[in-house]
Each structure stands twice: as structure tokens, then as C-alpha cells.
Amino acid sequence: MTAAILYRDEIKEYHFGSGHPFQGDRYESFMRLLQERMPADHHYKIQAAEPAINDDLLKICDQDYIDFCREYYHSAASGWIGFYENFSRYQSQDNKPIGIPGQLEWAARLIIGQAKMACDLLQSGAYKKVVSVGGGMHHAKQRSGEGFCIYNDVAFSAFYLIEKYKLERVLVLDTDAHAGNGTAEYFRGNPHVLYIDIHQDPATIYPGTGFVQQVGVDAGRGLTVNISLPVRAGNSSYLKAFDEVILPLAREFKPQVIIRNGGSDPHFNDGLTYLGLTIAGFKMMGAKVREMAEICGGKQIDLIASGYKANVLPYAWLSLIAGVLDLPLNVEEIVEVPVQFEQDLALTETEKVLQEVRRYHREFWKCLR
């Protein structure tokens, strides 16, 4: 079945200025490679969304935060940034532009608009797979932004599906190398969302949250599952985590929709992270998510934005999406695989992590006992 890929050239406005790790040319490089290697034909259809309106943003943000973002980032894009004494109240320092950024706030609204369109397309029955290029801003919170994220489209997608379409069980799978602290904060007490986050050990990387023992609160206890992988965990570690924890949880939870977010930063050559996925590993991961989605009739939203090695990013994204959409495409490794990543030397440590996940969650899930 044809998939929808949501993309507009203007998404490249989501960049923080020259010299900043997050650049907007990532989207163009991916789309160019996708169309070169896999013409649309019957595989996918590119569609354009409209930016979110204020009422959409209010589902996930306070009004004063929205007002600050609009004023500050519009001023920055015009080349003038005055003294904003409230900057640290609303944004972390890594969200401060270096030089002149793009139309960041407008592009952040576009990302939310794509998330809204993805939900509507999925629930209308027009598509079973929808990919939002530029989505996955999982560090953003209700009252603040951080980690290169301004508005959290992951949270918006789940809330929108629950509110508009009355869904009772939404599974959010975060495969970004960094823990999704913003998304976790939104859903830690929500009984309708199973949030599974597989990421690098938070003791070794930003944002320093996402430990195995963080399982949610109140009505959401047991519905936040953190799989904190050891440094250099590679293909075998991810495969084991999917087969022994993630897939069993999905089968027991029986989601009505799956939302996945995350880009290329688990790659061994990312630069900002220290995991060990290869390009082939991304396709495996995408295929596992596709297998999960069979539980809910194939219904999946995929949000993809992250990654910090420009030459690796489009190939890892393409491999991941090939797995998600079951495209007849094998993507080559763009850099030589170092000896230490030819085999997953972290697998034994990963097995210990999975044992800890079972220990903290066995009271909530039969499949983990």
C-alpha cells in the first residue's frame, strides 16, 4: 500500500544558523537521495501540510511560551536579537541561534501541522503508513524548549489521536539516541499511552534522564519503559531489545496506532552519540517497527529529524524508512565500519539492561515476568 511522506521544501527553515549542529539542509539531502534511489511510483506519495495554528499549539504548550517563541525566533530570523531576559526561562542555551537562523518558529509550526495531517490521513483510512520528514522534536516541553526542539510533535500526535479520534491505546516508540525527556514528561501519568524509549545510557549523554527505574507515575505507572543501552550497543543489542522487550510489550498492550520517532544518531559515526548501529541496522529496526504495526492493522506514523553527521544522515534515514515501508532497497554503508562495530561487543551489557527492565516492569506486564 502506498505511504504518505509529508514534506515541504520550506522545512529547511528549521535550522539554528551556521555553526550550529542542527542544520536545515538535512531534509533536502534525504529527499534527494530518496527520490534518486526510490522514485515514488506506487511506493509513496509526497504531500504538503500547512503550519499549525495557535489552537493546535495550545494542546501541548502554554500561551506565554508560544508568545515568547514567536517573538524571539521571528526577531532572530530577521537578523536582530535584543536582550531577552526571559530566554533561560523558556529555552535552553542549545536552542539559541548561532548567527542568523531560518524561520524557526514558522517551521516548528509546520512540523506540528505535519503531525496533525499524519493523524488525519491515518484515521481517514487513506494511508496506513505516514512519514513526517522533520518530525520527532521529543525534548520540547509544555513550558520550555531544549535539545534543538521547540514544539513537541510526538506529544501532539498522541494527544490529538486520543482527543479527536477517541483512541484509548497509543504506543509511542522513541528510537533516538537521546532519551525523549519532553515526551516522557507529557505522558508519565497518562493511562492511554505506552511510551517505550530505547536510547543511550543517560549517565553518559544528554539529557541525563531515561533511566530504567523511571516507569511513570500514578495512572501511568508501568507505561513508561526506558531501555538505556550501553555505549557502543549495536545491531545485535537492538535486535534483542525488540525481540525480548519491545515486541512483547506491544503485543500485550494492543495499540490502536504506533508513533515512532528518531533519526540517524544511533549510528556508530554520528559524532554526538556513542551507539553502534550500522546502516543495515537501521533497516532492521524499521522492519521491526513494521512488524509491531501489524498488531494495529499496519497503522503507523513515523517522525524523523535527528542525526548529526551530514554524510551519514540521509543514508541512515533511507535505510530506516526502507524498513518501515518495506521498500525493495538495500542501502550501503557510507563509511567503513570500524572493527569494534563489526560485532556487537556491548551485547552482554545490553542483556543485563534488559534484565533490569524486566525487574522494574514485571509487576505491570505479564510478558516480562
Catalytic residue numbers?
139
- Is residue 262 left, alpha or beta, with left meaning phi > 0 and alpha meaning psi from -120 to 50? left
Backbone CA torsion sign across 152, 157, 162, 165:
positive
| CB neighbour class for 258 (10 Å; exposed up to 12, middle 13-18, buried from 19) | buried
d(C-alpha 211, C-alpha 222), whole Å: 13
d(C-alpha 10, C-alpha 188), whole Å: 33
CB 282 within 8 A of CB 316: yes
Residues in contact with 79: Cβ distance below 8 Å, sequence separation at least 6, in sequence order: 100
Residues in contact with 352: Cβ distance below 8 Å, sequence separation at least 6, in sequence order: none
d(C-alpha 227, C-alpha 175), whole Å: 10
Name which of 241, 249, 206 is nearest 346 in CA terms.
241
Strands (E), 81-192: 129-133, 170-174
- CA angle 204–209–215, rounded 5-degree value: 130
